Amino acid sequence: MQLVKEGVLTEVTGSFDLTSLEDVISLMINYYQSTFIHVEDWLTKQERRFFTACVIISNQGLRYTSNESKRIFKNIFNLRRQSDVRGYLSDLEDKGFLLSDVNTKLIQLPEFFKFDLNTQVVKFDIMLNFKNDKVR
């Protein structure tokens, strides 16, 4: 991490070297949850693995019932019964992480998780603005 101060502007930059797509998505989940989701709706360990598979499936444009999706669910989530998919999709919808369509069998993700899975770099540029009336 690098911290640079110019007047009232403070800039923090850093880089993570990750070894897998799953690690990239996990880091994205951490940021997304801490920024946009109430702590009561944060994902459990199992839900995180399921959602990671959903991010891959959705970004490949696959139906969640396809054979390729079943393979992804098995490899990342260790899916044992296909009937579990609908339950987890429902739970993640309730928590605000995705939408799924029972007719098309497609998963819709927040824009935050839509990216080219073949990319080598995912960059976040975040600006936090606040009014500092008093220091407590």
> Which pLDDT does position 77 carry in this prediction?
94
Q: Which residues pair with 100 in a beta bridge?
A: 107
Average pLDDT over residues 131-136: 68
Residues 69, 63: contact at Cβ < 8 Å? yes
> Which pLDDT does position 130 carry in this prediction?
74
pLDDT in tens, 18-64: 889 999 999 999 999 999 999 999 999 999 999 999 999 999 999 99
- What is the pTM assigned to this prediction? 0.86
Torsion over CA: 74, 75, 76, 78 (sign): positive
> Which pLDDT does position 13 carry in this prediction?
82
The residue ranking higher by pLDDT, 134 or 40, is: 40
To the nearest whole percent, how much of the chain has pLDDT over 70?
Answer: 98
| pLDDT band, very low/low/confident/very high, at 135 (cuts 50, 70, 90) | low
Alpha helices in the chain (DSSP H): 21-36, 45-59, 67-72, 83-94
> Which pLDDT does position 136 carry in this prediction?
60
Average pLDDT over residues 78-101: 95
